[in-house]
């Protein structure tokens, strides 16, 4: 049985493994296909490709893009887009700028709450990522001994509605689905009913995203219980969308998301690749190795 995990993070965003370590760990976990999907960046791709070639793992180049639909955050997994497509690149730049510019605001709030945190503490937590996020601020608080772990940092300070929460720019979801397609890739909505439940992205909204060109729904995810998975699988079937499953692995940064804890069925993966191949062809890309 081919084992496929289509959603993982490295140190290029808020995972805790280098892309090489991630690929090696995926192999060791018995995976045959791995997608690297760092937040808002393709920075980890080249290293991951080299590592995957060396250990015989099939690698899907992806990213998890920060978007917003009707006021709610939507994480959009984009597989196999050309990250240098001008429209996509410009929007990713805007998102990354939004990430960077909110960090000082978060730190100011934390200092107002008595923390000793400074920008260098955050940089030290991950000097290499272009996609600084709240998990890096959390890691800095852990290093300072002010919280026990990332979870506590989110609970006390960084989570939505907590005192050091600061919003940032996210791209309109429907617009981003179009950009990903123009860039020769396909979009899958990540953990649609993960943190907030069906209220956020109800069936009708998933249908609207499907009309806009969405290719799939991440059904099997740790944040989804059995009932939610059944419902989402039904919606995917009704809308003709691919149903994926994945770990959303963040190394040691997120407990209970071990590599391969959820997987994607081979026939669903093949459908996704067919859609990506079609999008790539339509986009007029000449890059020879778009797929895999």
Q: Site for ligand AMP (CB under 6 A): which residue of 69, 254, 257, 271?
A: 254
Stretch that binds ligand AMP, among 50-58, 146-154, 175-183, 271-279 (CB under 6 A): 146-154
Is residue 14 within the footprint of Zn ion (CB under 5 A)? yes
Stretch that binds Zn ion, among 7-15, 45-53, 120-128, 226-234 (CB under 5 A): 7-15
Pick between residue 12 and residue 290 the one whose CB is nearest to ligand AMP: 12
Q: What angle do CA 40, 43, 49 make, to 5 degrees?
A: 120
Is residue 39 within the footprint of ligand AMP (CB under 6 A)? yes
The residues facing 145 across adjacent strands are: none
Q: Which does 27 bind (CB under 5 to 8 A by kind): Fe ion, ligand AMP, Zn ion, none?
A: none
Q: Characterize the bridge pairing of strands 72-79 and 186-189.
A: antiparallel
Q: Which does 254 bind (CB under 5 to 8 A by kind): ligand AMP, Zn ion, Fe ion, none?
A: ligand AMP
Q: How far apart are CA 127 and CA 71, in angstroms?
A: 31
- Long-range contacts for 42-46 (Cβ within 8 Å, ≥24 apart)? 42/83, 43/12, 43/129, 43/130, 43/131, 44/10, 44/11, 44/12, 44/13, 44/19, 45/19, 45/83
Q: Which does 134 bind (CB under 5 to 8 A by kind): Fe ion, Zn ion, ligand AMP, none?
A: ligand AMP
Q: How far apart are CA 66 and CA 40, in angstroms?
A: 7
Judged by the rule CB under 6 A, the positions of this chain that interact with ligand AMP are 14, 39, 133-135, 150-151, 154, 250, 254
């Amino acid at each position: 049985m081919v084992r496929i995990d289509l959603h993982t993070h490295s140190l290029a965003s808020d995972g805790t493994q280098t892309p090489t370590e991630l690929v090696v760990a995926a192999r060791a976990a018995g995976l045959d296909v791995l997608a690297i999907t760092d937040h808002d960046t393709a920075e980890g791709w080249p290293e991951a490709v080299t590592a995957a070639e060396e250990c015989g793992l099939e690698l899907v180049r992806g990213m998890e893009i920060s978007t917003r639909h009707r006021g709610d955050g939507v994480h959009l997994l984009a597989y196999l887009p050309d990250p240098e497509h001008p429209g996509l690149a410009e929007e990713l730049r805007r998102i990354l700028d939004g990430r960077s510019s909110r960090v000082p605001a978060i730190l100011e709030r934390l200092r107002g709450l008595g923390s000793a945190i400074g920008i260098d503490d955050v940089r030290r937590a991950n000097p290499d990522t272009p996609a600084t996020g709240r998990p890096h601020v959390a890691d800095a608080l852990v290093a300072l001994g002010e919280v026990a772990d990332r979870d506590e940092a989110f609970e006390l300070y960084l989570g939505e509605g907590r005192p050091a929460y600061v919003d940032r720019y996210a791209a309109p979801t429907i617009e981003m689905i179009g950009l990903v397609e123009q860039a020769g890739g396909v979009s899958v909505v990540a953990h649609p009913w993960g943190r907030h439940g069906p209220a956020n992205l109800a069936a009708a909204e998933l249908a609207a995203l499907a009309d806009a060109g969405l290719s799939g729904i991440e059904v099997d995810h740790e944040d989804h219980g059995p009932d939610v998975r059944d419902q989402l699988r039904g919606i995917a079937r009704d809308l003709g969308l691919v149903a994926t499953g994945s770990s959303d692995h963040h190394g040691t940064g997120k407990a209970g998301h071990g590599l391969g804890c959820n997987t994607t069925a081979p026939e669903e993966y093949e459908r996704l690749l067919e859609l990506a191949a079609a999008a790539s062809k339509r986009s007029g890309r000449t890059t020879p190795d778009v797929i895999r």
